[in-house]
A and B are shown apart, each in its own frame.
Chain A
Amino acid sequence: MDLVLNNINVKLGDKNIIQDISLAVARGEFVGIIGPNGSGKSTLLRTIYRIIQPNSGSILLDGKNLKDVKLAESAKKMGVVGQFNTINFDFSVFDMVMMGRTPHKSLLGSDTPEDYEIAMEAIQKVGMEKHAYRSFSTLSGGEKQRIILARALAQQPQLLILDEPTNHLDIKYQLQILSIVKSLGIGVLAALHDLSLAAMYCHKLYVLKEGNVVASGVPNEILTPELVRDVYEIECDIHENPDTGYLAITYYPTCRHA
Chain B
Amino acid sequence: MTQLKKRPSIEYDAVIKKNNVFILLLLGLSIIALLSMLMAVCIGTVKIPPEMSYKIIAYKLFHLDIDNVISQVSPSHMDIIWQIRLPRVIMSTVVGAGLAMCGTVMQASVQNPLAEPYILGISAGASLGATFSILIGGASGVLFGFGTAFWAFLGALGASIFVMVLSGIGGRMSTVKMVLSGSIASALFIAISNFIVYISNDAEGIRNVTFWTMGSLAAAKWDNLALPVIGVTLCCLYFLFQSRILNTLLLGEEAAITLGIDLTKIRRRYMVITALITGLIVASCGIFGFVGLVIPHVVRGLVGSDHRRLMPGSILVGAIFLTWADVLARIILKSGELPIGIITALVGAPFFMYILFKQSFDFGSK
Contacts and interface: CB of A to CB of B under 8 A. Distances in A.
Contacts of A91: 250, 304-306
A258 interface: no
B47 interface: no
B248 A102 contact: yes
Interface stretch (B2-10, B83-91, B121-129): B2-10
B11 A74 contact: no
B5 to A, nearest CB: 7
Interface string A43-64: 0001001110000000000000
Contact of B259 (A84, A102, A132): A102
Interface stretch (A19-27, A93-101, A212-220, A233-241): A93-101
A226 B241 CA distance: 58
A88 B108 CA distance: 10
A116 B258 contact: no
B244 A102 contact: yes
Contacts of A155: 259
Contacts of B252: 84-87
Which of A80, A85, A102 has the most chain B CB atoms inside 10 A of its CB? A102
B112 A105 contact: no
Contacts of B300: 89
B258 A120 contact: no
A80 B111 CA distance: 20
B16 to A, nearest CB: 10
B9 A71 contact: no
A127 B142 CA distance: 65
B79 interface: no
A132 B11 contact: yes
Contacts of B31: none
Most buried by B among A88, A90, A91, A152: A88
A92 B260 CA distance: 21
Interface centre among A71, A76, A94, A103 (most CB of B within 10 A): A71
Contacts, number: 106
B7 A74 contact: no
B303 to A, nearest CB: 12
A100 B241 contact: no
A113 B12 CA distance: 6
Contact of A50 (B11, B244, B257, B359): B257
B200 interface: no
B242 interface: yes
A73 interface: yes
B251 A99 contact: yes
B245 interface: yes
B1 to A, nearest CB: 10
Given A88-B111, A88-B112, A88-B113, A117 B5 contact: yes
Which of B245, B247, B250, B254 gathers the greatest number of chain A CB atoms within 10 Å? B254
B32 to A, nearest CB: 26
Given A49-B257, A71-B260, A120 B111 contact: no
Interface in B109-136: 111-113
Contact of A107 (B5, B12, B245, B262): B245
B126 to A, nearest CB: 26
Contacts of A132: 11
A143 interface: no
A121 B242 contact: no
A82 B258 contact: yes
A75 B11 contact: no
A255 interface: no
A117 B259 contact: no
Interface in B1-28: 4-5, 7-9, 11-12, 15
Contacts of A74: 260
Contacts of B8: 113, 116-117, 119-121
A214 to B, nearest CB: 28
A51 B244 contact: no
A92 B15 CA distance: 12
6 contacts: A91-B304, A102-B248, A116-B8, A116-B9, A117-B5, A124-B7
Which 4 pairs, one residue from A and one from B, show the smallest C-beta to C-beta distance? Answer: A75-B260, A72-B260, A103-B260, A117-B8
